[in-house]
């Protein structure tokens, strides 16, 4: 047997404290791992598990005022990094260890051309002339498979798509041939088809450059696609580590099992027509009327158009010619990637953006209704937003927030409202005594429950859920989805479920409509769309979803682009 | 009550509040506290050469160039300066809040018109405007306060406008709209409370500039009319004697500085106390 090669990066007993006014709080507690040459190690975990703090510690980029390494060592090819001078560390950063971040738009300087940013990065670490650096930059863009690399050099970041920007970031990170690439949620902000391309690119480049990769992600599907080895983190510790196949197939820790089980698997609902039942109640009786709760005909939304003094200015069409219906007690999934117009459609349905076309809610056409005439209709349709942090007024107690719809619509006296708020809180799995607290005192999942309670206050028939679980950790996400299914079963709610996540849509929906560039390209029952997609774009979307099974790696069909 | 308790927990706020209270007491109790009349030109208030007297046992803070007691003038001046600082500034912040919030919330033609008007006011030299207004209206304490408010609201409007535009885009405002909330409810309950910190910071920072602007106006003869004292006009009357009689500039300067600082400290504390998202964090 060969003697094992020395690790490129070894982290031993890394301990980091957060400095708070109440004293030091441990955020990393004895984290140890090794990264072999040419290996991909995934640090997997939910928010607050310490995965980003770990990577920032390696880069020595921890904010000095609030986080401090108190013990442990970080060795890069045997060289201790924790005690290195700031000057020497700057040579290591970008030279030996490079990092890419989640949001490629904010990591690139918006006012400097791509070419200048790349050459600057190259010349910081290599003693070469401007022209040579420029050639190297061009070669790098070529290596990350950007179309028309020469033209990209002269462009600004905003002229590139999100996927292209992330390719530039990867190119910049690899331009000095680092030994270690740290990628912190590199595909989280990207569409699923683009994510597949970027992951494939990272696999190729790893083989080509022999770079070791530390990949930080919350997405077990991405872990399965990429990892040689996995380290599962929870509350500042590594709870389990091992080869990817072992961790996925025979997880030792209960937490790992929970994490893997919480990932919705595409195809898990194959052969069924609706979402799984989560309550023991008998199937909801067929609705008294079969008239659809929501009927949309030829919906069109235009942004930026205006009729000013100097004639009409044409706007950008965000949605055109969209038609669908939602039956009572059923869920229609609206799927698509960013910019497909799915969120705009959801807002138009509730009259939050101006639109043309016909929208009727429970038989009442809403187009052209006065605000006063619209009020009774508003009660029938409510919305749950993506970000539960942003959709609650931070200066209002959650009790007041939930009572808000009752106050606006003048329902009940103050005492009745208090009782109703308590009842609604119980309904969504919170205790009534939390009513006097403010949103920042809750976790993300609890906040989304508060938003659901607020949406339920007016006893609506339809809820528009716009990416309502996208901002939540997987384990929390599963519980919120179960709550939504439970409410549907017991209250006969209909959902317009807007999401980019195919696996979640598969779990939640009866019907599915796939949107692309403002149009519906395919619609039908969920079973038909998922098991027998007719449109090539739908097939592409389904194929691009990472599968949480390391043995199935790379089976996904990623289009070149 | 809770607010007072919270203030008492913060040493800097306690300091600020005490100074503010002292100034208020000085202003209200000036006739009782002042050792001399503020406009009395005393024979022994000048040296034999006619120079003002530095601080001594009789005149605690010295006398001015006309032989008047500086301490008495400062005590009476506190009234003028406090009224100018609070009324002029409060009015300016109120106008700024209203204009900025309306423009930011309504946008469209009304919002644009309001903001262009604000820009116009900003581009217009403040002093010139004040001179014109003061010339049209006969100068008195209240008119001066009004003139200062007319000049000072623009910056507040600009900042509030930007902040309101950001707030309107936030999801919780969209959530309110989807619930069917009316414009008035959204503005009063969900936008205005978020602007309170800005208003407090501007309101307290503005006190020093306002007091000095009043001094400038007094100097130009369109502010508070002599012999009525204000902290600003005491400085302006005496600044050419700075090297010979530094106390004439030093004491009123300290008074303005301390007052402004104290309002600022109290304002900062209020901002933190009124922000529910800070609760339980500190």
| Nearest-10 Cα torsion for B235, B238, B242, B248 | -70
Beta-carbon contacts of A528 under 8 Å, excluding residues fewer than 6 positions away, are none
Q: Are A293 and A382 in contact (CB under 8 A)?
A: no
Question: Is B172's CB within 8 Å of A391's CB?
Answer: yes
Task: Tell me, yes or no, if B188 comes closer than 8 A to chain A by beta carbon.
Answer: no
What is the maximum span of chain B, computed from C-alpha positions, in angstroms?
A: 80
Interchain contact, A393 vs B190, CB within 8 Å: yes
d(CA B43, CA A14): 80
Q: Assess if residue B80 is contained within a domain.
A: yes
Q: Does A21 touch chain B (CB under 8 A)?
A: yes
Task: For B275, name the nearest residue in chain A, comparing CA atoms only.
Answer: A395
Distance from CA of B2 to the nearest CA of A (A): 16
Q: Which residues contact A426 (CB under 8 A, 6 or more apart)?
A: A432
Q: Is B184 helix (H, G, I), strand (E, B) or coil?
A: helix
CATH of the domain at B216: 1.10.3720.10
Segments forming the whole domain that contains residue B244:
71-275
Question: Which residue in B has a C-alpha nearest to residue A347's C-alpha?
Answer: B178
CA distance B11 to chain A (A): 17
- The whole-angstrom distance between B177's CA and the closest CA on chain A is 7
Residue of B nearest to A393 (CA): B172
Q: Which residues on neighbouring strands pair with residue A360, listed in sequence order?
A: A295, A365
* Beta carbons within 10 angstroms of residue A65's beta carbon: 7
Query: Do the chains contact at B179 and A408, CB–CB below 8 Å?
Result: yes
- Interior angle at CA A206, CA A203 and CA A212, nearest 5: 120
Task: Indicate yes or no: CB of B171 within 8 angstroms of CB of A438.
Answer: no
Does residue B8 fall inside a structural domain?
A: no
Total number of residues shown for chain A = 561
Q: Find the CB nearest A405 among B179, B194, B277.
A: B179
Q: From CA B191, how far away is CA B107, in angstroms rounded?
A: 15
- CA closest to A396 among chain B residues: B276
User: Pairing state of beta strands A212-217 and A40-44?
Assistant: parallel
Cβ–Cβ below 8 Å for A451 and B175:
yes
**CB contact (8 A) between residue B180 and residue A378:** yes
Tell me the whole-structure pTM to 2 decimals: 0.79
B185, B276, B282: residue with CB nearest A408: B185
Rounded to the nearest 10°, the torsion over CA A488, A490, A492, A494 is: -10
Residue B108 — left, alpha, or beta (φ > 0 → left; ψ -120 to 50 → alpha)? left
Per DSSP, the residues of A294-307 read EEEEEEEEEES-EE
Q: Is B163 a domain residue?
A: yes
- A133 alpha carbon, distance to own chain's centre: 36
Among B179, B182, B276, the residue with its CB nearest the CB of A404 is B179
Tell me how far CA of residue A286 lies from CA of A290, A321, A380, in angstroms.
Answer: 8, 31, 19
The rounded distance, in Å, linking the Cα atoms of A434 and A444 is 15
Q: For A427, which DSSP code? A: H
Q: Does B275 touch chain A (CB under 8 A)?
A: yes
Contacts of A451 in chain B (CB under 8 A): 175
Closest CA to B119 of B143, B103, B98, B136: B103
Strand pairing report for A511-516 and A519-525: antiparallel
Cβ contact B264:B204 at 8 Å:
yes
Both tokens assigned to A422: 């308590």
Q: Does B279 touch chain A (CB under 8 A)?
A: yes
CA–CA distance, B26 with B164 (Å, rounded to integer): 39
Cβ neighbourhood burial of A503 (10 Å; 0-12, 13-18, 19+): buried
Query: Residue A338 — left, alpha, or beta (φ > 0 → left; ψ -120 to 50 → alpha)?
Result: beta
Nearest-5° Cα angle at B181, B179 to B186? 125
Question: Which of 381-420 (A) contact B at CB < 8 A?
Answer: 382-383, 385-387, 390-397, 404-405, 408-409
Which of B111, B166, B172 best probes binding to A when mutated, by most A CB atoms within 10 angstroms? B172
CB contact under 8 Å between A390 and B172, yes or no, is yes
CB-based contact B276 A395, cutoff 8 Å: yes
The two three-digit tokens of residue A146, written as one number: 């950007």
Residue B177 and residue A352: Cβ atoms within 8 Å?
yes
Of the candidates A348, A505, A37, the one whose C-alpha atom is nearest the C-alpha of residue B174 is: A348
Backbone angles phi and psi of B69, in degrees to 5: -75, 125
Question: Partners of A216 in the beta sheet?
Answer: A43, A184
Q: A-chain residues within 8 Å CB-CB of B180?
A: 374-375, 378-379, 405, 408-409
Query: Tokens at residue A268, please?
Result: 């898990």
Q: Which helix (H) or strand (E) holds A372?
A: helix A371-380
Q: Which of residues 434-453 of A touch B (CB under 8 A)?
A: 438-441, 451
Check CB contact under 8 Å for B172 and A375. no
Which of B130, B96, B127, B91 minimizes the C-alpha distance to B114? B96
B4 Cβ partners below 8 Å, 6+ apart? none
Look at residue B66 and tell me if it is in a domain. no
The Cα–Cα gap between A334 and A342 comes to 6
Task: Tokens for A542, please give them.
Answer: 């389904």
3-class DSSP string for A152-216: HHCCCHHHCCHHHHHHHHHHHHHCCCCCEEEEECCCCCCCHHHHHHHHHHHHHHHHHHCCEEEEE
Work out the minimum CA distance from A382 to partner chain B, whole angstroms. Answer: 7
Contact A405 B172 (CB under 8 A): no
Cβ atoms of residues A416 and A492 within 8 Å: no
Q: How far is residue A103's CA from residue A187's CA, in Å, rounded to a whole number?
A: 9
Find how far residue B33's CA is from the centre of its chain: 24
d(CA A507, CA A512): 11
- Domain-located, residue B174: yes
- Asked if A392 and B185 come within 8 Å (Cβ–Cβ), the reply is no
Tell me, yes or no, if B9 comes closer than 8 A to chain A by beta carbon: no
- Interface list for B 119-178 with A (CB within 8 A): 170-172, 174-178
Encode B118-129: b = buried (16+ Cβ within 10 Å), e = exposed: beebeeeebeee
> Which residues of A are less than 8 Å from B171 in CB distance?
385-387, 390-391
DSSP element (H, E) containing A33: strand A23-35
- Whether residue B2 is contained in a domain is answered as no
Helices and strands (H, E) in chain B, number of each type: 13, 0
Give the closest of A383, A397, A458 to B175, CB-based. Answer: A383
Burial per residue of A396-424, b for 16 or more beta-carbon CB atoms within 10 angstroms, e otherwise: bbbbbbbbbbbbbbebeeeeebeebbbeb
Interface touch A395/B193, C-beta < 8 Å: yes
DSSP code string of B54-121: PS-SSSTT-B-TTS-BHHHHHHHHHHHHHHIIIIIHHHHHHHHHHHHHHHHHH-HHHHHHHHHHHHHH
* Cβ–Cβ below 8 Å for A383 and B178: yes
* The pLDDT of residue B281: 43
Q: What is the pLDDT of residue B212?
A: 75
**Are the CB atoms for B63 and B57 separated by under 8 Å?**
no
Contact pairs from chain A to chain B, CB under 8 Å: 66
Is A395 within 8 Å of B178 when comparing Cβ atoms?
Answer: no
Cβ separation B277–A382 shorter than 8 A: no
* Nearest residue in A to B195, CA atom: A395
B108 touches chain A (CB under 8 A): no
Q: What is the pLDDT along chain A (561 residues), one digit of tens a residue?
A: 455 678 899 999 999 998 877 778 888 999 999 999 889 999 998 888 888 889 889 988 888 888 889 999 999 988 899 888 888 888 888 888 988 887 766 778 888 899 998 898 888 888 888 899 999 899 888 888 888 888 889 988 888 888 888 888 888 888 888 889 999 888 887 888 888 888 888 888 888 888 999 999 988 888 988 999 999 999 889 999 999 999 998 999 999 988 888 777 787 777 777 788 777 665 555 555 578 899 999 999 987 655 555 555 566 778 988 999 999 999 999 998 887 889 899 999 988 888 889 999 988 888 778 878 888 888 899 999 888 888 899 889 999 999 999 999 888 888 999 999 999 999 898 999 999 999 888 888 899 999 999 999 999 999 999 988 888 888 788 889 999 999 999 888 999 999 988 888 998 999 999 999 889 999 999 999 998 999 999 998 888 888 888 887 755 444 443
Distance, CA of B18 to CA of B8 (rounded, Å): 11
What domains, with CATH codes, occur in chain A?
Answer: 9-262 (3.40.50.300), 294-303+316-552 (3.40.50.300)
Q: How far apart are CA A374 and CA A378, in angstroms?
A: 6
Q: What is the rounded distance in angstroms from the CA atom of residue B55 to the CA atom of residue B62?
A: 4
Report the residue of chain B nearest A346, measured CA to CA.
B178
Q: What is the DSSP string of A81-138?
A: -TT--HHHHHHHBTTTEEEE-S-HHHHS-TTS-HHHHHHHHHHHHS---HHHHHHHHH
Interface check for A156 against chain B (CB to CB < 8 A): the answer is no
Q: Is B93 within the bounds of a domain?
A: yes
* Chain A contact probe: residue of B178, B273, B277 with most A CBs at under 10 A: B178
The nearest alpha carbon in chain A to B172 belongs to A391
pLDDT at A558: 43
Residue-wise pLDDT tens for chain B (282 aa)?
Answer: 777 888 888 888 899 999 999 999 988 888 888 888 888 787 777 777 777 878 887 787 888 878 788 888 889 988 888 888 888 889 999 999 999 999 999 888 888 999 999 998 888 887 888 788 777 877 778 888 888 888 889 999 999 999 999 898 888 998 888 888 888 999 999 999 999 888 888 888 888 778 778 877 877 777 777 778 888 888 878 878 888 888 888 888 888 888 888 888 888 888 888 877 765 443
Min Cα–Cα distance to chain A from B271, Å = 13
Nearest neighbour of B277 by CB, restricted to A383, A385, A394: A394
Q: Which class for B253: exposed (0-12), middle (13-18), buried (19 or more C-beta within 10 A)?
A: middle
B12 CB-near residues (< 8 Å, 6+ apart):
B265, B268, B269
The nearest CA of chain A is from the CA of B277 a distance in Å of 6
Helix axes A398-408, A444-456, angle to 10 degrees: 20
Quote the CA–CA distance of B267 and B269 in Å, as a whole number.
5
Q: Which chain B residues have a beta carbon less than 8 Å from that of A375?
A: 180
Contact indicator for A169, A100 with CB cutoff of 8 Å: yes
Residue B24 lies in a domain: no
Pick the residue from chain B with its C-alpha nearest to A401. Answer: B176
**pLDDT number for residue A559:** 44
Number of domains within chain B: 1
Query: How many Å apart are CA A49 and CA A66, to the nearest integer?
Result: 17
């Amino acid at each position: 047997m060969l003697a094992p090669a020395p690790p490129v990066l070894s982290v031993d007993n890394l301990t980091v404290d957060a400095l708070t006014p109440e004293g030091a709080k441990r955020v990393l507690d004895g984290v140890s791992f090794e990264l072999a040459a040419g290996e991909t190690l995934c640090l997997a975990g939910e928010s607050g598990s310490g995965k980003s703090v770990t990577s920032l510690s390696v880069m020595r980029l921890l904010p000095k005022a609030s986080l401090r390494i108190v013990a442990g060592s970080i060795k890069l090819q045997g060289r201790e990094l924790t005690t290195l001078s700031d000057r020497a560390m700057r040579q290591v950063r970008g030279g030996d260890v490079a990092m890419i971040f989640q949001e490629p738009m904010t990591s690139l300087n918006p006012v400097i051309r791509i070419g200048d940013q790349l050459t600057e990065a190259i010349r910081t670490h290599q003693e070469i002339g401007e022209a040579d650096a420029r050639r190297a930059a061009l070669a790098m863009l070529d290596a990350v498979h950007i179309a028309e690399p020469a033209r990209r050099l002269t462009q600004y970041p905003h002229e590139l798509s999100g996927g292209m920007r992330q390719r530039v970031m990867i190119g910049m990170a690899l331009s000095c041939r680092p030994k270690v690439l740290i990628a912190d949620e590199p595909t989280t902000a990207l569409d699923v088809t683009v994510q597949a391309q970027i992951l494939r690119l990272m696999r190729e480049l790893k083989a080509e450059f022999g770079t070791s990769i530390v990949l930080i992600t919350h997405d077990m599907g991405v872990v399965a696609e990429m990892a040689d080895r996995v380290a599962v983190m929870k509350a500042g510790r590594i709870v389990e580590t091992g080869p990817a196949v072992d961790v996925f197939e025979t997880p030792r820790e209960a937490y790992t099992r929970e994490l893997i089980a919480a990932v919705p698997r595409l195809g898990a609902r194959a052969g069924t027509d609706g979402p799984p039942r989560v309550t023991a109640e008998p199937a909801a009786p067929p609705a008294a009327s079969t008239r659809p709760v929501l009927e949309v005909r030829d919906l069109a939304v235009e942004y930026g158009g205006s009729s000013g003094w100097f004639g009409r200015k044409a706007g950008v069409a965000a949605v055109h010619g969209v038609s669908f219906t939602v039956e009572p007690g059923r869920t229609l999934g609206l799927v698509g990637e960013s910019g497909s117009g799915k969120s705009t459609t959801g807002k138009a349905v509730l009259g939050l953006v101006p639109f043309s076309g016909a929208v009727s809610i429970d038989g009442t056409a809403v187009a052209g209704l006065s605000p006063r005439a619209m009020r009774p209709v508003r009660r029938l349709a409510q919305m749950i937003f993506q970000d539960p942090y942003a959709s609650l007024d931070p200066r209002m107690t959650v009790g007041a927030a939930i009572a808000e719809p009752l106050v606006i619509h003048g329902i009940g006296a103050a005492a009745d409202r208090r009782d109703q708020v308590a009842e609604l809180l119980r309904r969504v799995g919170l205790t009534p005594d939390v009513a006097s607290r403010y949103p920042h005192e809750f976790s993300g999942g609890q906040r989304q429950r508060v938003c659901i309670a607020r949406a339920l206050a007016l006893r609506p028939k339809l809820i528009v859920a716009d990416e309502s679980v996208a901002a939540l950790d997987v384990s929390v996400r599963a519980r919120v989805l179960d709550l939504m299914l439970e409410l549907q079963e017991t209250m006969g709610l209909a959902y317009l479920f807007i999401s980019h996540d195919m696996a979640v849509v598969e779990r939640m929906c009866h019907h599915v409509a796939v949107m692309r560039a403002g149009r519906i390209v395919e619609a039908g029952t969920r079973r038909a769309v998922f098991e027998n997609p007719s449109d090539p774009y739908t097939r592409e979307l389904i194929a691009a979803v990472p599968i949480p099974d390391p043995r199935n790696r790379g089976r996904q069909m990623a289009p070149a682009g | 009550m809770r607010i007072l308790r919270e203030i008492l927990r913060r040493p800097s706020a306690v300091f600020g509040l005490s100074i503010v209270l002292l100034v208020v007491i000085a202003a209200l109790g000036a006739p009782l506290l002042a050792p001399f009349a503020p406009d009395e030109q005393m024979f022994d208030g000048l040296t034999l050469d006619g120079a003002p007297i530095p601080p001594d046992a009789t005149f605690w803070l010295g006398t001015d160039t006309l032989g008047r007691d500086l301490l008495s003038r400062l005590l009476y001046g506190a009234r003028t300066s406090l009224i100018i600082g609070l009324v002029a500034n409060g009015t300016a912040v109120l106008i700024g809040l209203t204009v900025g919030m309306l423009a930011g919330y309504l946008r469209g033609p009304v919002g644009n018109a309001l903001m262009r008007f604000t820009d116009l006011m900003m581009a217009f030299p403040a002093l010139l405007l004040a001179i014109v207004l003061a010339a049209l209206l006969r100068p008195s304490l209240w008119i001066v306060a009004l003139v200062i408010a007319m000049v000072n609201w623009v910056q507040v409007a600009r900042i509030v406008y930007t902040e309101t535009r950001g707030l309107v885009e936030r999801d919780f405002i969209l959530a309110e709209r989807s619930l069917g909330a009316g414009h008035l409810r959204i503005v009063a309950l969900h936008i205005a409370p978020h602007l309170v910190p800005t208003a407090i910071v501007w309101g307290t920072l503005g006190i020093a500039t306002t007091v000095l602007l009043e001094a400038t106006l007094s100097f130009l003869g369109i502010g508070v009319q002599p012999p009525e004292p204000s902290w600003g006009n005491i400085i302006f009357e005496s600044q050419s004697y700075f090297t010979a009689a530094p106390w004439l500039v030093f004491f009123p300067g300290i008074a303005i500085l301390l007052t402004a600082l104290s309002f600022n400290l109290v304002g900062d504390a209020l901002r933190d106390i009124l922000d529910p998202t800070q609760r339980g964090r500190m």
